[in-house]
Structures are given as structure tokens and as C-alpha cells.
């Protein structure tokens, strides 16, 4: 499992290596270049899946068929697809502390 990803800002092109959490989705990311707050694209569970060079650990686990892949990220991804990107309906782990 890869635990680091390079996030590239779609606004200014700044790319930075970041450690990915293994037990939660990272829903927001503040670009260090232009200050933009990145959010996942519709259908993606987190900023790493949308703007990173490597998808988040739960998605990696799902693709490899590993046990324990049914995480908050995967559930949130399903909510996004089912509700056409209605961010307010995501699981509490995504918005806690923001």
C-alpha cells in the first residue's frame, strides 16, 4: 500500500507530496501555491482520488480486493454518486473538524 501521494492543484499547478490518512477521508486540501481550497470531484471520495498521483489507501485496498476496504471513503463515494455530488450528505468523518 502506498501512503504518500503528490497532489497537484488544478488552479495553479503547484505539486506537493503529502502523507495520506489510512483511517479517514481527506475532504479538503489547501494549496500551498495559490491558497485554493480543493474538494473532491464529483464521484471521488477525497482530494487524493481527485488530484493525487495515487488514490487514497481505502480505494487502493478496494482495487486489490483486500479485506477492510469497506471504509468511510467508499461509503462517501457511493453517497456522492447516488446524490449527484450533494456534499452535505457525506458521512460525518469527512466534515468533522471543518
- The rounded distance, in Å, linking the Cα atoms of 53 and 48 is 7
pLDDT digits (tens, 9 = 90+) for 25-51: 899 999 999 999 999 999 898 999 999
What mean pLDDT, rounded, does the chain reach? 77
pLDDT at site 58: 86
Q: How far apart are CA 30 and CA 37, in angstroms?
A: 4
Angle formed at CA 60 by CA 83 and CA 72, multiple of 5 degrees: 40
pLDDT-derived band at 84 (thresholds 50, 70, 90) equals very low
pLDDT by residue (tens digit) across 50-74? 999 999 988 888 888 876 555 555 5
Domain that holds residue 14: 4-95
Domain count, the chain: 1
Whether the pTM exceeds 0.75: the reply is: no
Amino acid at each position: 500500500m502506498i501512503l504518500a501521494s503528490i497532489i497537484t492543484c488544478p488552479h495553479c499547478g503547484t505539486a506537493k507530496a503529502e502523507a495520506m490518512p489510512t483511517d479517514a477521508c481527506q475532504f479538503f486540501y489547501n494549496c500551498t501555491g495559490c491558497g485554493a481550497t480543493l474538494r473532491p470531484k464529483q464521484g471521488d471520495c477525497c482530494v487524493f482520488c481527485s488530484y493525487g498521483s495515487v488514490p487514497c489507501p481505502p480505494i487502493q485496498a478496494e482495487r486489490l480486493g483486500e479485506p477492510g476496504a469497506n471504509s468511510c471513503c467508499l461509503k462517501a463515494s457511493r453517497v456522492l454518486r447516488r446524490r449527484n455530488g450533494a456534499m452535505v450528505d457525506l458521512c460525518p468523518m469527512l466534515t468533522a473538524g471543518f
